[in-house]
Amino acid sequence: MKKTSILLSAFAATLLLFGIAACKKEATGTDLDLLNKAKATAGFVWYKNTDALLPRSSGSGHSEALLRTRYNATAAASLDTAFKVSNAASFAEGSLIVKELHTNASTLSRYAVLYKQSTHPDADANGWVWGYIDADGKVAEPAANKGSACRNCHLQADNIDYMLMNKYFP
Ligand code: HEC
């Protein structure tokens, strides 16, 4: 490739990146509701009962380096005594699972949310609403897409009702 075309490609790539960033919408509707639900921490318990940040797993579709996952009281009923997702778990209506994605030890950058609410207009066929919202309130993946960007990966072998923490952090 010639120098000018390399420069032009770099320029185009930069424009594209900024374009995508600028296109991100402020959360409203379901996305805003899920963001607010995710931000509230009262009554949640942590996976394996620890709030330590974990390094992302090899199978992760989430690019942030660190993560930790918590469960509201309803979802926590599907955890076993070690605070892991029990084998036959099928999460009850109202279950809320929040994965905090941290860019580094001091920056929570995004929330990945699974909310079981079968009658919700944005629920998928299994009754889950999928949220992906940046901590600054921008939508990373709209809930209205019903997890189309998430489901295939979360349906891989050994998922439990979509959950993968149990597989990658046994
Ligand atoms: C390529 C695979 C892949 C894709 C795509 C993916 N995930 Fe995940 N997800 C994982 C893995 C693996 C974990 C376990 C923790 C880790 O290593 O990140 C996980 C964990 C989670 C958790 C914590 C609950 C649990 O035990 O699984 C939530 C919530 C979640 N993802 C939501 C989402 C959402 C929302 C999307 C789509 C916007 C999505 N994921 C797309 C692989 C994926």
Mind listing the pLDDT tens digit for each residue in 61-82?
Answer: 899 999 999 999 999 999 999 9
**What digits encode the pLDDT tens for the residues 144-155?**
999 999 999 999
Whether the per-residue pLDDT at 5 is higher than 90: the answer is no
CA distance 59 to 6: 33
Say if residues 166 and 160 touch (Cβ distance below 8 Å): yes
Residues with a CB atom less than 6 Å from ligand 1 = 56-57, 59-62, 67, 69, 97, 99, 112-114, 130, 132, 141, 149-150, 153-154, 163-165, 168
Which residues, 6 or more positions from 11, have their beta carbon under 8 angstroms from its beta carbon?
none
Q: Which of 107, 83, 81, 110 lies closest to 98, judged by CA?
A: 110
Residue 5 Cα to ligand 1 middle (Å): 38
Q: Could you give the C-alpha distances from 61 to 52, 152, 161, in angstroms and in order? A: 20, 11, 17
- Phi/psi for 107 (5° steps) reads -130, 105
Rounded to an integer, what is the distance from CA 111 to the centroid of its chain? 5
The dihedral through the CA atoms of 125, 62, 164, 89 has a sign that is negative
Mutate which of 164, 165, 166, 169 for ligand 1 pocket (most atoms within 8 A of beta carbon): 164
Nearest-angstrom CA–CA distance, 72 and 114: 11
67: exposed, middle or buried (Cβ count in 10 Å: 0-12, 13-18, 19+): buried
Report the pLDDT value the prediction gives residue 30, as an integer from 0 to 100.
98
Distance (Å) from CA 11 to ligand 1 centroid: 32
